Structure 1
Amino acid sequence: MPANTESKMIQKVDESITAPAGFFADGLHTSVKRRRKDLGVIFCEHPAAAAAVYTTNAVQAAPLFVTKEAIQTNGTLQAFIVNSGNANACTGEQGQRDAYTMQAAAAEKLGLSVEDVGVASTGVIGETMPMDKILPGIELLNPERSTEKAHAFNEAILTTDKIQKHTCYEAVIDGAVVKLAGVAKGSGMIKPNMATMLAFLTTDAVIDEAALHDALKEVTDQTYNRITVDGDTSTNDMVAVMASGAAHNNKLTPNHPEWSVFTGMLKAVSEDLSKRIAQDGEGATKLIEVQVEGAQDDEEAGKAAKAVVGSDLVKTMAYGNDANWGRVICALGYSGAALTVESVDISIGSINVLKQGQPQPFSEEEATTYLKNETVVIHVHLHQGPGSGKAWGCDLTYDYVRINAGYRT
């Protein structure tokens, strides 16, 4: 996060998706998956301003249509019902009916109207939903405002993830403490263009619905859209945010004097979750962060950073602890960002390997030692303008193939 006044006002706190006032959660095991929890719910006690961004894959799963329709009805939601283990994608008319049935069952359980409930699914594509397991599970959900229940929800949305991903920030706006929390799943099929994972954000801020949507879209472009694990864009996933308004601050819009404090929290939560997804990539052993400066503008910087972090050769370079920086300059060259090779600087950690297009002498032993870290940072300076940006990914290992070769078994 930039070191500015707004960022100094924002504090990270060790709390969960239920930390913002008004939110409750739960998760349980229905046997859709063999062992782990596979059905969860987030519930808000009052109608919450809602916004979401969705995968850009042309093949989209049934729950996305149901959720879009629900949010478009009046710009609010009160709950999300989420399952893992089955994506309900490419399941035809039956899949659409099942998504609506999940929505209706959750609404009845929680005492809501159907348009108050969003639906999300993740897992295997092309298999019909086991509604004989899902519907009894919905009846057993008992959302509460507790860390234990929040973690149960977080577990329920995971597929091949090794770890839960959650984070929370708070700040004072209009004299009121405002919290913004998030949870996410994502380990494979990660090359977002809008959103290709499940991420759910909650806040107790009072905020204009249109402004919330615009803020989420902008932050998504700067965070979730800057991660890649394997270059595949999923059929299902989304980033969604609900705002309960329980903090009772003055309504946030871009004209509010502390608007940047709220968007700073939104970016901080989203960047944390994005890094966790990249770090937890299937088979991954390390997080790769690419920082680009000196691009023509921020968009160009993001484009260059994402090309580097998405390169299979850069990923294998990191896995093999081999400071083969030629793979970095190669990815920059095809990124589409404006550059002149004679102006490019590259560093791996603090080790300078290229300066104004000229190779620099460096210690291979020192570079190998650095590349063994759990986080590897590659710095690039293009000397083209004021633009800067980051992107995140992970190394590519033998285990990625093993995990995906046996995904259904």
Structure 2
Amino acid sequence: MAVGSGVIPELHPVAGIRVGTTSAGVKTPGRPDLVLMELGEQATVAGVFTLNQFCAAPVRICKANLQSDKPRYLVINTGNANAGTGKEGHEDALTCCQAVADHAGVKLEEVLPFSTGVIGEKLPVERITSAVPAAFDALSDNGWLDAASGIMTTDTRPKAYSTQFEYQGQTITFSGISKGAGMIKPNMATMLAYVATDAAVDAELLQQMLKRSADKSFNRVTIDGDTSTNDSCMLIATGASGLNVTETDAELFAVFNNALDDIMLQLAQAIVRDGEGATKFITVSVEQAGSSEEALLAAYAVSHSPLVKTALFASDPNWGRILAAVGYAGIESLDVDALQIYLGDVCIVEDGGRAASYTEEAGQAVMNEEEITIRIVLNRGDVSETVWTTDLSKEYVSINADYRS
């Protein structure tokens, strides 16, 4: 199941990066499951990663290599997370990196590894290293769509997006892919995402840009409240266009960040639309909060509530479940008589209870829709935050009950 058409727009090549996809048979023979990205020598790379303390071996290596050298290659496998595998898993990830480094003639530290799949199982190193030459052979300027399929796990469809903007007669390109469908919660989510641009950006500034944009996109999506071990979101600036983005050029800086936010949000929302078993795409918007923290407390309380999510699946306008979730969100000194809650444009709660204007028919009409907005107006300040989530279906239970079989 998935919400929306899932149509992928034209994916523009990004000068300075080539992408190749092949099958290593990590979990399923013949399935594309190994992706290689080759970066030009002038490229800069930024990354944000899971906050799970049991972060996977490739995450630890990737973070270390980002600090020690300038990345030239990214290698990604699906079908096995190489998480919860101790020292052996660490060595296995390094072995895969070394295979890429040897084939390319670069240093081990110039390779960044990524894995996604089942936690706690040994990485099939020989299958991956044996497939590395084929991944190199597949490298192409137009490899983004194949890579979007190659990084899928329980996803039902590939996720990719591309955008361009003009600045002083020059075209700047962004293209990117993401994966994720379950075990999704911020900090980050169970997901991988790779975005590249042909602009030139200093590594330190690129990291700041990525963190800011991820906090507005990938760190504002949730499907089931679980934070995974392998989440990584990477931003690559190849510099091939020759256009240098700096804070001193305020106009270019603003336009660049707007384009970055656009592609990041598109890729993040694509994960929610393809959430495991999802039949609805839910926007939870909290307005007039006293702080970002309390706005997110309310938004996540509603987004994570199994009772709210199952009501959404059933298209049941059981608005009391939303009210209850806001009430237990942990907002200090919340004045329940002062807030309003809306389903779409229908006010369901005001003055501490059911809105006088509310009718079951109006609530039902909203709940029957595939895309629903829940709007919570706290009337405590001027801060707004938005979180995107899904309903909770029987299919979600089935997918995760059968995941290893």
Report if TM-score (shorter chain) is over 0.5.
yes
Mapping of 1:110-121 within 5 angstroms?
110-121=104-115
**Does the CA-based 8 Å contact 2:50-2:189 persist in structure 1?**
yes
Structure 2 counterpart of 1:232: 226
1:115-159 superposed Cα distances (whole Å, 9 cap, x missing partner): 222110001111111122111111111344454x22211111111
Q: Considering only aligned residues, what root-mean-square deviation do their CA atoms show, in Å?
A: 1.9
> 1:384 and 1:311, CA in 2 relative to 1: closer, same or farther beyond 3 A?
same
Amino acid at match of 2:36: V
Mapping of 1:9-408 within 5 angstroms?
14-16=9-11, 19-34=13-28, 35-74=30-69, 76-141=70-135, 142-147=137-142, 149-253=143-247, 256-337=250-331, 339-360=334-355, 361-408=357-404
1:259-310 superposed Cα distances (whole Å, 9 cap, x missing partner): 1222212221111112111121111111111112111234433332222212
Separation (CA, whole Å) in 2 of partners of 1:78 and 1:195: 25
Amino acid at match of 1:341: V
Separation (CA, whole Å) in 2 of partners of 1:283 and 1:180: 30
SS at match of 2:358: coil
> 1:50 and 1:280, CA in 2 relative to 1: closer, same or farther beyond 3 A?
same
Separation (CA, whole Å) in 2 of partners of 1:194 and 1:273: 14
Structure 1 counterpart of 2:3: none
- Quote the offset at 1:251 in angstroms: 3.4
1:94-133 superposed Cα distances (whole Å, 9 cap, x missing partner): 2111111111111233343222221100011111111221
Identity of paired residues, percent? 38
Separation (CA, whole Å) in 1 of partners of 2:72 and 2:367: 45
**Does the CA-based 8 Å contact 2:17-2:141 persist in structure 1?**
no
Separation (CA, whole Å) in 2 of partners of 1:253 and 1:108: 38
**Does the CA-based 8 Å contact 2:245-2:252 persist in structure 1?**
no
Q: How many residues were matched structurally?
A: 394
- Quote the offset at 1:89 in angstroms: 0.9
- Quote the offset at 1:71 in angstroms: 0.8
Amino acid at match of 1:184: S
Question: TM-score if structure 2 supplies the norm length?
Answer: 0.92
Question: TM-score if structure 1 supplies the norm length?
Answer: 0.91
1:4-23 superposed Cα distances (whole Å, 9 cap, x missing partner): xxxxxxxxx9333x622212
Structure 1 segments unaligned to the other structure (5+ residues) = 1-12
Separation (CA, whole Å) in 2 of partners of 1:131 and 1:195: 26
Amino acid at match of 2:371: T
Separation (CA, whole Å) in 2 of partners of 1:195 and 1:72: 23
Separation (CA, whole Å) in 2 of partners of 1:248 and 1:178: 10
Separation (CA, whole Å) in 1 of partners of 2:251 and 2:56: 40
**Does the CA-based 8 Å contact 1:308-1:314 persist in structure 2?**
yes
**Does the CA-based 8 Å contact 1:219-1:266 persist in structure 2?**
yes
Separation (CA, whole Å) in 2 of partners of 1:42 and 1:365: 52
**Does the CA-based 8 Å contact 1:47-1:78 persist in structure 2?**
no
1:382-407 superposed Cα distances (whole Å, 9 cap, x missing partner): 11111111101111111111111111
SS at match of 1:283: coil
Structure 2 segments unaligned to the other structure (5+ residues) = 1-7
**Does the CA-based 8 Å contact 2:48-2:233 persist in structure 1?**
yes
SS at match of 2:173: strand
**Does the CA-based 8 Å contact 2:309-2:391 persist in structure 1?**
yes
1:184-206 superposed Cα distances (whole Å, 9 cap, x missing partner): 11111111214431111111111
Amino acid at match of 2:185: K
Higher mean displacement: 321-330 or 48-57 = 321-330
1:224-261 superposed Cα distances (whole Å, 9 cap, x missing partner): 11111111110111111111011211332376432122
**Does the CA-based 8 Å contact 2:188-2:231 persist in structure 1?**
no
- Quote the offset at 1:337 in angstroms: 3.9
Amino acid at match of 2:160: H
**Does the CA-based 8 Å contact 2:18-2:38 persist in structure 1?**
yes
Amino acid at match of 2:372: V
Amino acid at match of 1:350: D
- Quote the offset at 1:83 in angstroms: 0.3
**Does the CA-based 8 Å contact 2:172-2:197 persist in structure 1?**
yes
